[in-house]
Amino acid sequence: MRGTRIGTGAFLVAAVAACGLAFAPSAAAVAPGTATVNADCGSWGGGAATLTATQSGTSATVTINTSAVTAPLAISKDSLVSQLTLVKAGGGTTVFKGTKNPAMATGDALEVGPLSGTVASGDSLEAFGGTLKVTAFGFITITCTAGGPQSPGPFVFD
């Protein structure tokens, strides 16, 4: 009898979960989800940088990873102030901001994000022509620009 109750309870939990998933709002898609640029960060270095975008409705995030810039000193979690400006097709810009970053040891590759921004359906955003500004310790600012269009192409939001 006890095994039947557990089995029935597990079935009901699974059925309720499945219904919840069926009626849950679907996350919007951004394509491509990941793009690469050749970053120029001045005296801080340069090279490949990977941008990863996600979207949920009009909210979007972008995370940036690059070994082109390395941590000059140990950096605490969520201590970098970052601002990514992406260029809109047809004119204008969209800004993504945040203070999210993992803890980094001296010499670790730079990772910032997810940085938050607002997008509209159909927005096409490109790193080329925009900037990434990262401030560490309140006074060290690193500014990076893309040396050309991102590959495989701009982020297009649903």
pLDDT tens-place string over residues 24-72: 444 568 999 999 999 999 999 999 999 999 999 999 999 999 998 899 8
**Token digits for 78?**
């969520």
Task: Please say if the pLDDT value at position 20 is more than 90.
Answer: no
Judged by DSSP in three states, 103 sits in coil
Q: How confident is the model at residue 19 (pLDDT cuts 50, 70, 90)?
A: very low
pLDDT at 72: 85
Statement: residue 76 has pLDDT above 90: yes
Would you state the pLDDT for residue 29?
87
> What's the Cα-to-Cα distance from 7 to each of 13, 14, 16, 126, rounded to whole Å?
10, 11, 14, 52
The answer to whether residues 45 and 132 touch, using CB atoms and an 8 Å cutoff, is: no
* Residue 23 reports pLDDT greater than 60: no
Q: pLDDT digit string (tens) for 86-142?
A: 999 999 999 999 999 999 999 999 999 999 999 999 999 999 999 999 999 999 999
**Per-residue pLDDT for 12 more than 90?**
no
Residue 141's pLDDT is what?
A: 94
